[in-house]
Amino acid sequence: MLVHPQFDPIAFSLGPVAVRWYGLSYLVAFGLFLWLAAQRAAKPQYATRGWQRRDVEDMLFFGVLGVIIGGRLGYCFFYKPGYYLANPLEVFMVWKGGMAFHGGLLGVISAMALYARSRGRHFLEVMDVVAPCVPIGIAAVRVANFVNGELWGRQADPSLPWAMVFPQSGESFARHPSQLYQALLEGLLLFVLLQFYARRERAMGQVASAFVFGYGCLRFVAEYFREPDSFLGLLALGMSMGQWLCLPMIVLGAVLWVWCGRRAPLAKAGAGVKS
């Protein structure tokens, strides 16, 4: 069996300031988004509609706020609502940890809706630019979870070549390195699939809905290998909170994809968009 190396969570220090791997992973995620989204905005179907790099930079600003605020609120009220309703001031104590992807997603969607309205662009068009650029950033954050030795997996067969003991768990049995599973599934694999799917012109909103559906499916699978939160355990039907939160994503993504498919392609759909 492998044993988690127990990396130092602090990447380096600048005087009294400690820079953590987790924080660096978010910087990497935002940097990759800026690069990828700028390339996507330069594609003919977007460039002809007035998209420029400064639009991507503005989207990033809105998106960062959405990730941080939504991710924190999602953790507080999806996973520990009773505790944070009783201790509301601790919602702001982000240094104690606690971020949830599903909350961050809702935060980004809200932020992009505000961005679209402020720029006079169609919300689905904005989300089509954003969606294919997100998964690689998710992969970066999952790698940081592995470095920190957190969000470890469920018990695994010790004969599995990559089964790993996480001393941080307080247990000595082998586990699945589920952080890496998630980095590969909802990160790298979803990124490759969306890049391939988005190469061709699609109906407005179909790329974004493919992301929602794809992430929901891949995260649902990954949750079977991830240890449920100790304060929640498995919920109804033997599913984790993460799986229950993925179900509406899967349904919404599929319904939205079909609905968008009945609309005109992006190059022909101009309603509600300004150049």
CA distance 269 to 122: 10
Q: Is 49 annotated as a binding residue?
A: no
CA distance 14 to 224: 40
| Dihedral sign for Cα atoms in the order 47, 249, 70, 218 | negative
Tokens 């791997």, residue located: 21
Query: Can you give the chain as a three-state secondary structure string?
Result: CEECCCCCCEEEEECCEEEEHHHHHHHHHHHHHHHHHHHHHCCHHHHCCCCCHHHHHHHHHHHHHHHHHHHHHHHHHHHCHHHHHHCHHHHHCHHHCCCCHHHHHHHHHHHHHHHHHHHCCCHHHHHHHHHHHCHHHHHHHHHHHHHHCCCCECECCCCCCCCEECHHHCCCCCECCHHHHHHHHHHHHHHHHHHHHCCCCCECCHHHHHHHHHHHHHHHHHCCCECCCCCCCCCHHHCCHHHHHHHHHHHHHHHHHHHHHCCCECCCCCCCCCC
Binding site members: 142
